């Protein structure tokens, strides 16, 4: 299971995206986002790019431990159908 760093924001979106793409290329399809504590809308964009990369391989990612803040952004942007997720209960 792939787990990104604690931050997924505009500040580190490119490096986070690349790390996730590498994990996908290595066969990781489960992403644990429970450690994320700093996020912004770039997190959703990165997650969508990860999902596109998996789809290009005929696979789908599953996001585990999605912080409520990220879940709210996913709902706000109306992309929940593209990002299968388990939202964590932490606040």
Average pLDDT of the chain to the nearest whole number? 92
* Model confidence pLDDT, tens digit, residues 50-74: 999 999 999 999 999 999 999 999 9
End-to-end CA distance of the chain: 23
* Residues 79, 26: Cα–Cα separation, whole Å: 25
Q: Which domains does the chain show, CATH number per domain?
A: 7-87 (3.30.750.24)
pTM exceeds 0.75 for this model: yes
- What was the pLDDT predicted at 41? 96
């Amino acid at each position: 299971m792939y787990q990104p760093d604690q931050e997924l924001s505009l500040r580190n979106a490119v490096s986070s995206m690349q790390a996730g793409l590498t994990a996908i290329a290595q066969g990781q399809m489960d992403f644990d986002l429970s450690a994320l504590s700093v996020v912004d809308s770039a997190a959703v964009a990165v997650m969508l790019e990860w999902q596109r990369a998996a789809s290009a391989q005929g696979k789908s990612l599953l996001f585990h431990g999605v912080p409520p803040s990220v879940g709210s952004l996913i709902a706000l942007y109306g992309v929940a159908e593209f990002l299968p997720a388990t939202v964590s209960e932490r606040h």
